[in-house]
Chain A
C-alpha cells in the first residue's frame, strides 16, 4: 500500500451509551489522503463524520487508532491542521481583519505588524472581502461574509491540512454557490490539502477530487471512495453537462438513499476497514450508449 500524506489507521471511536454499555460509532476505519487533494466525506447525520473531523483536528482523542501526517502520528490540535467550523467561530469582539491577523500572529510569531496585516488583507481579498468591510465586526457581516472571513483565516495560516466542517451548511443556496467558487479559486491558488464534511451531493461533486462515502452508524464505516472524473477547472453550469456528472451523482444518491442503510451495523471483526475505490468514467469507453444511460439516470434521480 502506498504511503499517503495523511493516513488514518484503524480509527475506532466508542462512547458510553448511558446504560452501562458502549456505543461504537465507527471501528477500525482506515483511509488516506494525498497531498494537494480535495476530499469530501458524505454520510447521514450521526454516522461519525464530525467525530472523524474532531479527531483529525486534534480536538478529541479517538478510542483507538492513529492519524499520521507525513508519516508522523499526530495528537492534539496544531497549526498544521487548520479548521473552518460550521458556525464560523469568529471572535465577535474582533473585526474581520483582526480575526484573520489573530490566526496569522499565532502562526508566524516573528512577523512584523505590517507584514501580518498585508498577508491578512491579501487572503481576505481572495475571498472577495475588500475595503471597509474588513474593519467590521462579525455581527455587522452577513452569514456568507462571516464564513468568507473564517475561510480566509484558515487559508492565511497555510496549514498542511485544512479541515472544513460543513462550512456552507448554514448559508442560503445562492450564497453557498458563490462561496464554493471562491473556495475553489483559493484552493487552486494555494494547493492546500483539504478534507471537508458536507451534506450536499452537488457541492461535493463540484469541489472534490474524491468523495468518501460513510454508511450509517453505529459501526459506521467509510465504505467507498468515489473518484470524481470531471476535469478541472470546474464551473457549476458546465459540469452538469459533463457525461460523468449524473453517473457519479446517481451513484452517490443510490448509496446515500439505499446502500448506506444496507451496509450499516456491520462489525469489523478486527479487520482494518478501507474504502473500496470506485471510478465511474463514461468518457473512457466508446461513448455510444451514453444518451440512453444519462436519461435512465436522470429518471433515477428524479424518482
Chain B
C-alpha cells in the first residue's frame, strides 16, 4: 500500500477522533431508557417528565445551521443573531486592544531604551500585571459610568501587559552592532527607532501582541457576562438563563473558532516580520 503523507494521516486521524467523539456523545445522550409504567405518585411528582439533558450533537448542528444561515438578524434586545453578538465582542476586543497598542508600544520603547525608566516603572508594572482584569470592572463601572466603555477598558488593561513587557524586552535586546550601524550613519533617534530598532524588535513585539489578543478574547466573554446587553459572553449567559443548552454549546464553539482566527491573524503577522540571522 502506498503510504500516505504525514499530513494526510494526521487529517484522517483527526476526522476519526471527531467522529468517535460525536458518535459517543450522540449515543450517550439519546439512549434514554423509557421506564416502566409510573405510579400515580410518580406522575404527580413530575418524575415522568423527560429530564433536561445535554443536547446531542445533531441538535447542535441543526442550531448551528439555523444560526449561521441568518447570523445578523435582530429581533429585540434578547434575540440577536450570532453574527451581531460576535461583532460586538470583536469590536470591543479590537478597541481595547488598539488602545493598549497605542500605550504599550511607545512606553515599551521608552522602558527598553532607558534603564532609568525601566527601574522607575518596573514596580508599578509588577504590581498591576497580576491583577485579574475583571477586578477592575467595579472601579471602571463607577468611574466611566458606561458598561460598554468599561468592558473596553477591561480589555485594554488585560492586553497592555504582555505587549508592554515584550516591547521593552525586544527593544532592550536589539544587538548593539545594529544600533552602532545606525549611529555611524548619523541617524536621528526617531529614524533609528523606526528603521533599526522597530524591525529588529518586531518579532518579539508581535509575540507580545499575539499573547495579548489571546488573553483579550478570553477576558471579553467573562466581561460581557458581567456587563450584559450584547456580545458573545452575554449571549452564552442569556442562553443559559433560557436553559437553551444547544445554543450554549454552539456559542462555545463559535468562541473557539473566532479565537483561533484572531490568533492565526497575528501568527501570520509575526511570520511576516520574522527574520533569520
> Which A positions have Cβ atoms within 8 angstroms of B?
57-59, 77-79, 81-83, 85, 87, 89, 91-93, 102-103, 106-107, 137-140, 157
Establish whether residues B177 and A59, one from each chain, have CB atoms under 8 Å apart when the complex forms: no
* Also in contact, A59 and B184, with CB within 8 A (given A89-B177, A137-B275): yes
Establish whether residues B277 and A139, one from each chain, have CB atoms under 8 Å apart when the complex forms: yes
Flag whether B186 is at the interface (Cβ < 8 A).
Answer: yes
CB distance from B269 to the nearest CB of A (A): 14
Chain A residue at minimal CB-CB distance from B276 = A139
Flag whether B31 is at the interface (Cβ < 8 A).
Answer: no
Establish whether residues A102 and B200, one from each chain, have CB atoms under 8 Å apart when the complex forms: no
In the complex, chain B residues 230-277 whose Cβ is within 8 Å of any chain A Cβ? 273, 275-277
Establish whether residues A92 and B186, one from each chain, have CB atoms under 8 Å apart when the complex forms: no
| Most chain B beta-carbon neighbours within 10 Å: one of A85, A87, A89 | A89
Chain A residue at minimal CB-CB distance from B185 = A106
Give bound CA distance, A77 to B184, whole Å: 5
Choice from B184, B186, B276 contacting A137 with Cβ under 8 Å:
B276
In the bound complex, residues from chain A placing their C-beta under 8 Å from that of B200 are 91, 93
CB distance from A265 to the nearest CB of B (A): 31
Flag whether B196 is at the interface (Cβ < 8 A).
Answer: yes
Give bound CA distance, A197 to B177, whole Å: 17
In the complex, chain B residues 168-196 whose Cβ is within 8 Å of any chain A Cβ? 177-178, 180-181, 183-187, 195-196
- A interface secondary structure, majority: loop
CB distance from A292 to the nearest CB of B (A): 50
Flag whether B56 is at the interface (Cβ < 8 A).
Answer: no
CB distance from B41 to the nearest CB of A (A): 79
Contact with A along B184-225 (1 / 0, CB 8 A): 111100000001100110100000000000000000000000
CB distance from A225 to the nearest CB of B (A): 26
Chain B residue at minimal CB-CB distance from A159 = B184
| Most chain A beta-carbon neighbours within 10 Å: one of B184, B199, B202, B273 | B184
Choice from A79, A85, A139 contacting B186 with Cβ under 8 Å:
A79
Establish whether residues A91 and B196, one from each chain, have CB atoms under 8 Å apart when the complex forms: yes
Establish whether residues B199 and A77, one from each chain, have CB atoms under 8 Å apart when the complex forms: no
Establish whether residues A102 and B180, one from each chain, have CB atoms under 8 Å apart when the complex forms: no
Establish whether residues B181 and A91, one from each chain, have CB atoms under 8 Å apart when the complex forms: yes
In the complex, chain B residues 150-174 whose Cβ is within 8 Å of any chain A Cβ? none
Give bound CA distance, A262 to B23, whole Å: 88
CB distance from B204 to the nearest CB of A (A): 13
| 6 interchain residue pairs of minimum CB distance | A139-B276, A106-B185, A93-B275, A89-B177, A77-B183, A92-B275
CB distance from A250 to the nearest CB of B (A): 37
Give bound CA distance, A49 to B213, whole Å: 49
Establish whether residues B199 and A91, one from each chain, have CB atoms under 8 Å apart when the complex forms: yes
In the bound complex, residues from chain B placing their C-beta under 8 Å from that of A102 are 185, 195
In the bound complex, residues from chain A placing their C-beta under 8 Å from that of B202 are 93
Q: A92-B276, A137-B275 are in contact. List 9 more A-B contacts (CB 8 A).
A: A59-B184, A77-B183, A85-B181, A89-B178, A91-B199, A93-B275, A102-B195, A139-B276, A157-B185
Establish whether residues B178 and A82, one from each chain, have CB atoms under 8 Å apart when the complex forms: no
In the bound complex, residues from chain B placing their C-beta under 8 Å from that of A79 are 184-186
Give bound CA distance, A252 to B131, whole Å: 67
Chain B residue at minimal CB-CB distance from A83 = B184
In the bound complex, residues from chain B placing their C-beta under 8 Å from that of A157 are 185
Give bound CA distance, A77 to B186, whole Å: 7
In the bound complex, residues from chain A placing their C-beta under 8 Å from that of B184 are 57-59, 77-79, 81-83
